[in-house]
Amino acid sequence: MAGTLSSIVHCDFSVPSDHECDEPNRNEPIDSWLNDEACFPVAFYRFDSREIRCTTPKKSAKMIGKYIMGDLLGEGSYGKVKELLDSTTLCRRAVKILKKKKLRKIPNGERNVQREISLLRRLNHRNVIKLIEVMSNDEKQKLYLVFEYCVAVLQELLDSVPDKKFPLWQAHGYFCQLLDGLEYLHSQGIIHKDIKPGNLLLANCGTLKISDLGVAEALDMYVQVDTCRTSQGSPAFQPPEIANGAEVFSGFKVDIWSSGVTLYNITTGKYPFEGDSIYKLYENIGKCEITVPEELDESLRDLLQGMLQKEPDLRMSLREVQFHRWVKQHPPVLSESVPIPPRSEGDTHRNMTVIPYLKALHSEEDSETDDEEDIFYEVIGSAAQVPDEVRPAKKLKQYFRRKKRKEISCINVSTSSLCQPS
Which residues belong to the active site?
194
Q: What is the DSSP string of 18-83?
A: T--SPPP-TTS-GGGGSTTT-SS--SEEEEEGGG-EEEPPPPPP-EETTEEEEEEEEE-SSEEEEE
Beta-bridge partners for 79: 98
Cβ 289 vs Cβ 272: under 8 Å = no
Distance CA 193, CA 110 (A): 18
Asked if 180 and 363 count as a contact pair (C-beta separation under 8 A), the reply is no
Strands 249-250 and 227-228: antiparallel
Report d(CA 267, CA 171) in Å as an integer: 7
Nearest to 308 by CA among 348, 270, 264: 264
Question: Quick check: 214 and 115 in contact, CB under 8 A?
Answer: yes
Q: With contact defined as beta carbons under 8 Å apart, do 395 and 11 qualify?
A: yes
β-bridge partners, 46: 6
Q: Please check if 96 is assigned to a binding site.
A: yes
Beta strand residue intervals within 111-150, DSSP E? 131-137, 142-148
Residue 23 — φ and ψ, nearest 5°?
A: -70, 150
CA pair distance 206, 332, nearest whole angstrom: 18
Contact, 38 vs 32, CB < 8 A?
Answer: yes
How crowded is the C-beta side of 409, counted as CA atoms within 13 Å?
A: 4
d(CA 416, CA 229): 71
> Which residues fall in the annotated binding site for ATP?
96
